[in-house]
Structure 1
Amino acid sequence: MTRPPTDHVRAAPVPAGRWRKYLSPELWHKNLVHLHLRGREAAWRLWRPPLREPIFVVGCSRAGTTVTYETLALAEGLMTLGYETPQLWHRIWGPWHNGWASEAATWEEARPEHAARARAWWWARLGNRGRLLDKTCINVMRVGYLARLFPDAHFVYVHRDGRDNVSSLIDGWRKGDHFALRQYLGPLPEPVAIEHGEFDDWRFFLPPGWRDYNRASLAEVCAWQWIQANTLALEARARVAPGHWHVLRYEDLLEDPVGAFERLYGDLGLAFTPAIRRHCAELGRHATSIVSGPPRKEKWKERNPEAVESILERIAPLQARLGYA
């Protein structure tokens, strides 16, 4: 087919608003930052500077991982982005690659190119100024995967009494779309009608078996998230290098935050300075949650007693395994 003569074709005028968009300083800045980061990632692939002993804070959402991460981030010699990075892992290996099985990843799924992409991504944004500290909620389901990608990595595993953890998850699910997954993954491939249709999307993270809970009660969903997060982490612990698995109980952060963090800092080879000691001593005075106020034990009894009581039998075996009566 021949093209019509150009004098017979009239180009559609570009709306003035679109020109303003193309010329906006914000768009130019965004594109320049994108090009800069792509260039730095390419530079890493040429030079391949090392990433020494990264520290991954892992645990079920609402288990105390954020306060742990924020307190460790005060240490000298650590570098951190200050935000979670699910978008990094989704692009490397996740639901878009595994048929929407879950956001989990296993030792067997790890590939050398996955490690290279992650190292390039971090180096482009942080350089090589110290040890990487990362806290991304889906990584509790990726311990074996990360241990294979980064054999010298340390893992700080935070766990919490399942009754309080499930109750806090319930509160988080009810905080609008703040923790909704569509902002990271887009629409899920299966319809969701959790709690009689109150929720049409998952919150926090997508565990294995999620499809079986798309029409379950919210309490059942949150119990399943807690069970899967902790079970997958415990099962993958054997993949972590000896001496690189560090356990922190949420309840210890309430009862003795100074002692808990002093031990953790020592195990990680970090300096526990007087300023950090003072910070830890004041942890209990401040609200650490954007969901339901200051931390304390057995909050579930006032927040969601009936919902939690309905799943006590489900969580009992893992409760016992974690040392909770």
Structure 2
Amino acid sequence: MTYQPVVIVGAPRSGTNMLRDVLCQLPGVATWPCDEINYIWRHGNVRYPSDELPAERVSPTIREYIRKHFNWVASHYSATTVIEKTCANSLRVPFVDRVLPEAKYIYIHRDGIDATGSATLRWTAELDLPYIMQKVRFVPVMDLPYYGVRYIWSRLYRLFSRERRLAFWGPALDGMSEILENYSLHEVCALQWQRCVESAESAFSDIDEERVHRVSYESLVKDPIGELSKLLKFLNIEASPSDISQSVAGVSSSSIGKGRASLSEAEIIRLKTLIEPTLARYGY
């Protein structure tokens, strides 16, 4: 590759979008013109029951297919750094690393209770057609019928669901059907967060630490210039002070605590009981 692939890893609602958008405002840095490319990552494994794809599921054909799409971004935007952000990748870092052994990783984490409150809103969101259409163009043609049926089913499910939720949203965990049957929606979101960060943490223990940069959402939004400067040093990206200032101009710390505020005290206590060890690991 003539460019540096960079994979942002994080649970849903942990600032992954914000971080990607900040980086892609810098010269020579680009990404796909849509939110996530989970359809590309899952091509060839479309019927695998979860997003927890093991590295053994990477065939030479799949590896070539995914790398071709990274090459397209680099070529289309004349990029020297290609940023990729798909939250489900936090469940399959070894799979990603087998596809992109030259990748660098940015691991961003956020208070799991805060992320849970925010994620719950996405499970119950209204249809956003422009958002869907942006992503459709990157769905492999042969996979379109499969995803079309799943999408229609998810929307129909929302109409009749007691919680007014979609049939599925976010990273698909192993045993997801059982989790949805046995836990409330808030608890499902908390378990998604927990599985994502625990899986990523375990995987990064086997990857050279020089290829992984860690940052908390809270630190990033409180000191965006300082944290971005550290990130750019890790990525070997040169940027002027004005470039850095402009790229973080829209970053705000106002969302810290919003997710928690949307939950009752009883719900927070229940969620803490469910994911306490992981919260403690990150100091939350």
TM-score, normalised relative to structure 2: 0.81
Residue identity opposite 2:150 in structure 1: P
- 1:174 lines up with 2:124 in the alignment: yes
Contact 1:152-1:241 at 8 Å conserved across structures? no
Structure 1 segments unaligned to the other structure (5+ residues): 1-49, 286-293
- 1:231 lines up with 2:231 in the alignment: no
Contact 2:51-2:88 at 8 Å conserved across structures? yes
Residues 1:277 and 1:75: Cα distance change in structure 2 (over 3 Å): closer
- Structure 1 residues 1-325: aligned runs within 5 Å: 50=1, 52-83=3-34, 84-94=36-46, 96=47, 98=48, 100=49, 102-124=50-72, 126-127=74-75, 129=78, 130-178=80-128, 184=147, 186-187=149-150, 196=162, 198-215=164-181, 216-279=183-246, 282-285=249-252, 295-306=254-265, 307-324=267-284
What's the RMSD between the two structures over aligned residues? Answer: 3.0
User: CA deviation digits over 1:41-65, x for unaligned, max 9?
Assistant: xxxxxxxxx3543101110111000
Q: Kindly state the Cα deviation for residue 152 of structure 1 after the two structures are TM-superposed.
A: 1.2
Between 275-284 and 84-93, the greater mean CA deviation after superposition: 275-284
Q: Kindly state the Cα deviation for residue 241 of structure 1 after the two structures are TM-superposed.
A: 3.4
Q: Aligned equivalents of 1:161 and 1:77: distance in 2?
A: 32
Q: Kindly state the Cα deviation for residue 73 of structure 1 after the two structures are TM-superposed.
A: 0.9
SS for the counterpart of 1:247 is: strand
| Identity across matched positions, percent | 24
Residues 1:164 and 1:123: Cα distance change in structure 2 (over 3 Å): same
Residue identity opposite 1:144 in structure 2: P
Contact 2:25-2:247 at 8 Å conserved across structures? no
Residue identity opposite 1:154 in structure 2: K
User: CA deviation digits over 1:225-265, x for unaligned, max 9?
Assistant: 10111111111113433401111100012221111111011
Q: Aligned equivalents of 2:32 and 2:282: distance in 1?
A: 31
Structure 2 segments unaligned to the other structure (5+ residues): 133-144
Q: Aligned equivalents of 1:265 and 1:219: distance in 2?
A: 35
TM-score, normalised relative to structure 1: 0.72
Q: Which has the higher contact order (CA 8 A, sep 6+)?
A: 2
Matched residue pairs, number? 263
Q: Which has the larger radius of gyration?
A: 1
Contact 2:52-2:92 at 8 Å conserved across structures? yes
User: CA deviation digits over 1:192-235, x for unaligned, max 9?
Assistant: 79974533511122122211122231111101110111111111
